[in-house]
Amino acid sequence: MRWVSSRTLIGLSLLPLIVSAAPDASQTSPAPAMCFGIPVDEPLIAGLASGQVMDSGQFVTLRFSNLAFACGQTLTGGGTDVCRNDWTFSLVLPKSAIQPGKYRLSDLSAQFSELFNLAGPEQGGGCSKASCRMSTDGIGEVSLTDTDATLELYSVDSQCITGKLAGFKDRIFPDSPNYNGAFFALPCSA
């Protein structure tokens, strides 16, 4: 007969509690360790999983998504293998504005673009690949003119940019996700 130590038994008895307390994969990802400055009480943009910075000389693009993307990848529209809403949006800003501070996006002549997939079950059906109703909407770059939309940059360095979007409303697509909240963005090579 094989004996099991009391420590092992206690550890095994706590396993269901540990597993049930693990974060759900659908929850917002925390900011990466190299990203500083986001206040602890400031929620990230709902669902944010990926933030990227692309420098193209005079301009910087901040790109965000609820999906984790490698540099160079993007949401392409169409569907996914699961029945869920996916989104990506970008802000193109003058490089001179990429320093800590609070800015009105309209004063920066910021350009905005987005692509989002909306998914839901077919009438009377469950939500599976075969029975999922999907639609895609998006816009190329448009100038942001709403004076209530602000960008606050908390921290800017070579490893990460952190900040917050506030007062932003998508006037073209009322069904688009809410893009307000704190963010992180990691650098991508051009």
Domains of the chain, by residue range, sit at 25-188
Q: pLDDT tens digit string along 40-49? A: 999 999 999 9
- The CA-CA-CA angle for residues 103, 105, 109, to 5°, reads 120
Task: Report the distance separating Cα 183 and Cα 63, nearest Å.
Answer: 10
Residue 35 has pLDDT above 90, yes or no: yes
Lookup result for tokens 């009391």: 6
Confidence at 153, pLDDT banded by 50, 70, 90: very high
